[in-house]
């Protein structure tokens, strides 16, 4: 028996490592090329000038600050909008669950490039009412992160017996706000962290809506800088990719370990 299965196992291992090597090269080569490209000096020497320039480009630092603020505002807005609503639907309005789910997943079927066409006239009003600040992009970004955040929060609420917990709290005299803040939120902490991290990653990577509504976010400035200082743009891009990887890698290890293949990162598939 062993004599029969051994060569099969070897062939399988060979195929496996070939696949890993080939796709690995395809996926990693451009990233390594970014490292080489951004550290080119004069006359074939290595230089960290492009990386030093990141700290000296005021356009870039401004954009990083704007995108950082947008990420924080989007996360706060998303949590305020979604956590009470989804919890309320789980507790009191189970018949609305399908409707809320449909609305939350709708942005997956309406591409950002389509959404921005319809948002342009609305943003004329938004900037008239609230001023022409890039931070108003928060409204659009909350819509963009809705599907991913909803999946995480809904999964978190489905994993606990939220109805029983809420009944216990209510019978002990808690208000609904007490239930939300002292029962629901602590019990779905992991889901809230997942939803927030995914939202941060999406906001930091957003280009379509910010660029077509003419706001200078991180991605827009990377794109504009690329026209005159390619090394700098490549360096920032690589830094941002590594930052996002670190964020998701930490999330994958911090989040509660669930069943095979359904870690928190799984909810990231845009249309999954």
Partner 1 sequence: MTDVVAPTSVPGSEPAPPATGTGGAQRLLRAAPYLGVLPFLGYVTLFLLWPTYIVITGAFQDENGAPTASNLTAVLGGGEYLDAFVRSILLSLATAVAGAVLGALLAWAVAEGSPDGLLHRAVIAGCGVLAQFGGVMLAFAFLATFGFTGVLTLFLADILGVDLLGGGSWLYGLAGLVVAYTYFQIPLMLIVFLPALNGLRPQWREASENLGGTGWDYWRHVGGPLLLPSFTGATLLLFANAFSAYATAAALVSQGSPIVPLQIRTALTSEVILGQANVGKALALGMIVVIAVVMTAYALLQRRTSRWLR
Dihedral angle of Cα 168, 169, 170, 171, to the nearest 10 degrees: 50
Nearest approach, Cβ of residue 199 and partner 1 (Å): 11
Rounded to whole angstroms, the Cα distance separating 78 from 101 reads 15
Q: Which is nearer to partner 1, 118 or 256 (CB)?
A: 118
Rounded to whole angstroms, the Cα distance separating 247 from 232 reads 23
Identify which of 208, 190, 180, 213 has the alpha carbon closest to the alpha carbon of residue 86. Answer: 180
Rounded to whole angstroms, the Cα distance separating 240 from 201 reads 10
Nearest approach, Cβ of residue 193 and partner 1 (Å): 15
Q: Which is nearer to partner 1, 115 or 185 (CB)?
A: 115
β-bridge mates for residue 46, sequence order: 40
Q: Which is nearer to partner 1, 188 or 198 (CB)?
A: 198
Rounded to whole angstroms, the Cα distance separating 265 from 180 reads 25
Q: Which is nearer to partner 1, 52 or 258 (CB)?
A: 258
43 class by beta-carbon count within 10 Å (0-12 exposed, 13-18 middle, 19+ buried): exposed
Helix (H, G, I), strand (E, B) or coil at 46: strand
Q: Which is nearer to partner 1, 105 or 160 (CB)?
A: 105
Nearest approach, Cβ of residue 212 and partner 1 (Å): 6
Number of CB atoms found within 10 A of residue 84's CB: 16
Q: Which is nearer to partner 1, 51 or 139 (CB)?
A: 139
Nearest approach, Cβ of residue 249 and partner 1 (Å): 4
Nearest approach, Cβ of residue 137 and partner 1 (Å): 11
Nearest approach, Cβ of residue 189 and partner 1 (Å): 20
229 φ, ψ (degrees, to nearest 5): -140, 80
């Amino acid at each position: 028996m062993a004599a029969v299965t051994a060569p099969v196992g070897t062939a399988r291992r060979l195929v496996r490592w070939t696949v890993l090597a080939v796709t690995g090269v395809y996926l990693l080569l451009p990233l390594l090329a970014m490292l080489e490209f951004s550290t080119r000096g004069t006359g074939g020497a290595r230089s960290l000038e492009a990386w030093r320039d990141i700290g000296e480009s005021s356009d870039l630092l401004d954009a990083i600050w704007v995108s950082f603020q947008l990420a924080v505002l989007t996360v706060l807005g998303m949590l305020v909008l979604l956590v009470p609503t989804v919890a309320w639907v789980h507790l009191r309005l189970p018949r609305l669950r399908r409707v809320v789910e449909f609305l939350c997943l709708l942005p997956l079927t309406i591409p950002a490039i389509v959404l921005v066409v319809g948002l342009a006239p609305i943003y004329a009003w938004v900037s008239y009412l609230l001023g022409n600040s890039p931070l108003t992009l928060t409204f659009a970004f909350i819509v963009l992160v809705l599907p991913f955040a909803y999946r995480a929060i809904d999964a978190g609420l489905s994993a606990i017996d939220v109805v029983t917990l809420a009944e216990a709290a209510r019978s002990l005299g808690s208000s609904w706000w007490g239930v939300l803040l002292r029962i629901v939120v602590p019990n779905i902490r992991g889901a809230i962290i997942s939803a927030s991290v995914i939202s941060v990653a999406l906001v930091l990577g957003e280009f379509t809506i910010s660029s077509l509504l003419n706001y200078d976010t991180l991605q827009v400035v990377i794109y504009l800088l690329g026209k005159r200082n390619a090394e700098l743009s490549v360096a920032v891009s690589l830094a941002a990719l590594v930052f996002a990887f670190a964020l998701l890698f930490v999330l994958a290890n911090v989040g509660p370990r669930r069943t095979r293949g359904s870690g928190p990162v799984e909810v990231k598939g845009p249309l999954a």
